[in-house]
Amino acid sequence: MPKASLTLENGTVVTIEGTASEVHELLSFYGSAASRPAHGQVHKSPAAPVHRDPRSAADDAADAEVDLMTIVNHVKACDEAENIESRILDQTDQLPRVLLPMYMVYEHMSNAHGLTSGQISKVTTQLGVPVKQPNVSKILAGAAAKYIIGDAVRKNGQAVRYKLSRRGHAYLKEIISGRKENRPEVVIPRL
C-alpha cells in the first residue's frame, strides 16, 4: 500500500497511507512540493517557531493603535488650544500636564485608548513641556490617582494603561475653562 508524508504550513507532519489514487489526491490538495515518500525515512521535526515576548508584542500592538502625534495635533488644534497653552502648558504644575494627553483621548477619541506612562511622557515632550517617564509614573501613582483608571494593578516592570475618569475630566475642564486655579495643593499639617 502506498505511503506519503507531507508537512503542513503549521509544521504538522502527516503520513498518508492508502490507495495510490487517494494518496495522489491528498498530495495534490495539500501541495506536493512539501511531500516526500515515507518508506522508512526518519522525519525531522520542524524547527520551533521563534516566539517574541507576549508582553512586548502586546505593547507594540497598543503603540500601533494609539497614534501619539494625533493626540499632539488635537492639543494644538482644538477649540481650547489657547486656554490649554496658557493654563496648563505655561504653568509649572506637572499634574495637569500628565493628565492632558488622557484628556485629549477622552474628549476627541471617545476614551478609546489607555496610555502608558511612557506614551504620556512622549506626548508631553512633543508639546514642548517634557515630563520624564519616571516623574509621570510618580505623579500617576500619587496626585493623579484619584483622576485616573488603570487597566491593571501597578507592578514594577509591567506597563499599565491609564484612562481619565469622569472626575479627572471634570478637573481638567475646570482648569482649562479658568474656573479653577492651576496651583499645586499645599497641605499644612495641624499641630
Residues 73-103: tens digit of each pLDDT: 999 999 999 999 999 999 999 999 999 999 9
What pLDDT does residue 65 have? 67
What pLDDT does residue 31 have? 61
What pLDDT does residue 35 have? 46
- Do the Cβ atoms of 146 and 161 come closer than 8 Å? no
What is the CB neighbour count within 10 angstroms for residue 33? 8
Query: Which domains, and CATH codes, for the chain?
Result: 3-36 (no CATH), 54-177 (1.10.10.10)
Positions of the chain with pLDDT lower than 70, given as ranges: 1, 27, 29-65, 181-187, 191
Ramachandran area for residue 51 (φ above 0: left; ψ -120 to 50: alpha; else beta) = beta
Residues 46-64: tens digit of each pLDDT: 554 554 445 454 544 544 4
State the angle between helix axes of 117-126 and 94-108 in degrees (0 to 180), rounded to the nearest 10. Answer: 100
**Grid coordinates in use for 110?**
471617545
Burial class (CB in 10 A: 0-12, 13-18, 19+), 28: exposed
